[in-house]
Chains A and B, each alone.
Chain A
Amino acid sequence: MDPCTRRAFMKGGALSALGIGLGGMPRFLLRAAAAQGTAVRRKTLIAVFQRGAVDGLSMVVPHGDPDYYSARGAIAIARPASGQPETTVDLDGFFGLHPALSPLKPLWDTRRLAIVHACGSPDITRSHFDAQDYMESGTPGVKSTADGWLARGLQATPRASGAPFRAVAMGPQLPRVLRGEAGAVAMGSIAEFDVKGEGGASMTGAVDARRGFESMYEQGVRDLLYGTGKETFEAVKMLKAAAPQRLAPANGAQYPRGRFGDSLKQIAQLIRADIGVEVAFADVGGWDTHAGQGNERGQLANRLGDFAQGLAALERDLGDRMDDVVVLTMSEFGRTVRENGNRGTDHGHATAMLVLGGPVRGGAVYGRWPGLRRDQLFEGRDLAVTTDFRALFAEVALRHLGVAPTAPLFPGFTVKTSGFPGVLV
C-alpha cells in the first residue's frame, strides 16, 4: 500500500468511527462550531517558498562586509544612507534590508521579524528541482523519501477531529512538503472550491451533482484518487459552513495584486474562519535572476516589493492572531557571490530566510556569518551554509507547532535544541 492509500484508509476509518456519514451534519463540523467559542487557539505556521533560489545577498544585504561591494558591481545594493530611500535599509550596522523590503522594517523594529542568514542545505546540488525537493522532503541527498517534513510534523501531532483544513496549500498543486499521511488540501482559490452545476452552487441541481460525485469517491479508499476525493468533500462541507470568503481584509491591510497577494489574503481568511488551520503554504516564483537582476530597482526589486507588501499585509490583516502565528520563508539555495557576465547571478549555496510573527525573537539576524572573502566561500564561489535549514525548521516545528522531539521530522538528522538558531521565544 502506498503511503497515500494508507493515510486515506486510516483517516477514512477514523472518520467512520466517529459516525460521519452522508446524511446530516458531520460531527467534526459540529465540534468545530462548538469549539469556536471556547477552545484555545491553535498555533499556525505559514510557510512561504520562494521558488527559483532567491539572492539572499540582495534580500538581506551584508553591507558591512568589505567583500560584498567588491564582488558585486552593477547589482550591488547601495550602502545605507539616511534620508535616501533607494539604499539598503540598515538593520544592525552590518546587515540591511533591500529597500523593496522596507514594508517589513516596522516588524523588525517591533521585534517581530528575525532573519537567519547563511542558511541552507548541507547537500551541494545546484539543481532547482533537487534542492526544492530536498528542502520539502527534509532529507537532503535522499530522493526516495515519500512524504514532506511538514506532513510528518502534522502526523506526529494527531488531532482527534481529523479536520480537513489542518494543512492547506494555495495553488493548483499540493506541494511536496505537505504530501503524506497527514493529508492536506490544495486549492486554487476559496471561491472555486465547490462543485458547481448549472445555475451555480446554490441550485438543487448542483447539490445532486455534488452528492453524486461524493458518493462515487466514497466507495472505499483504494488509492490516491479515492482517498483525495473523500477528503475533498469533507473539506467542501466545512468550507461552506465557515464561509471564509465573507471576511474582508482587516485593519486596512492591502495585499499586492497578483497570485502571491491573493494566496496570502485567502490564507488569512482561512485562518480567521477558525477551521483549524495549523499549516498554510504559499509559494512565489521569479527569483532565478541569471540576467539583469537589477539593484535597488529592477527585476529582483519588483519581486521583493511584491513579497514584502504581501507579508506586511498578512501581518496587518491577522492582527492579534499573529500572537499564535509564525511565518517562515525559504528558498532552495542562494546565488553566486560574484555577479556574472550578465548583471545577474548563477546558482549558489546559502541564502537568507525570514521568520516573522508574535512568537518570534525578532530584531536580530541569526546564524554565524561565514564571510565573503574568496577563501571563505563554499567551493570558492558561494556563500557557505552555517545554519542547516533543518535546524531552523525543527525549531519552528517543535517550539511553535508542538511536534515532539522524537518525531521523525528529519530522518538522518538529530534534532538538538542546542542546535536551534533560537529565533522563537
Chain B
Amino acid sequence: MEDRAAFQQLYRMTSAKLFGICLRICGERQAAEDVLQDVYVQVWRRAGAYEPGRASPITWLATIARNRALDWRRAHARTPQGADAELPEIADPAPDAEAELIDADEAARVRACLEELEARQRNAVRTAFYEGVTYAELAARESVPLATMKSMVRRALIRLRGCLSDDV
C-alpha cells in the first residue's frame, strides 16, 4: 500500500537519528530497540497529529523518540551511581546540516546562547538534554549536593531563557 511504502521510506531515512537519541537516553541497545519500535508504531498511528510548519518532521519525530526514551528511563530508574558514565560525551556537537535546514535558526541561536553559559552549566544542560538524566543523577555524577546542582542548573536555565528571548 502506498502509505506503508511511504512509512517504510520514512523509517529508512530517520531510524538512525532516532535510534541514536534513544540509545543515548536508554543506555542499552535492547531497550533502545524496543523504544524505537514503539515510537514508529506511535508515529504510524498518530501521523495526523503532525503539523507542518511547527517543526521540521525530523524534529517532530525526534521529540516523540526522546519523550518515549525518557519515559522508559523514568520507569526503569536505576541508582544514580549506576548511570552510564562511560558513554562518550557529546563534546561539541557539530551542526547536522542536512536535517537542520528548517530548524537552523533555532539551533544556531540555542547553541550560541549555550556558549554564553559557564562550562559546567553548559555541560549540565547538554547532559540533561542528550542523556535524559535527572538532577539526582547529575549531582551524583559530579559529586555535588543535589541542592547545589539544582541551583546551578536553574541559574543556567534562567540565563539561557534571557538569552533566547533577547531580540537579535
Physical interaction between A and B = no
Interface residues of chain B, those whose CB is within 8 Å of chain A, are none
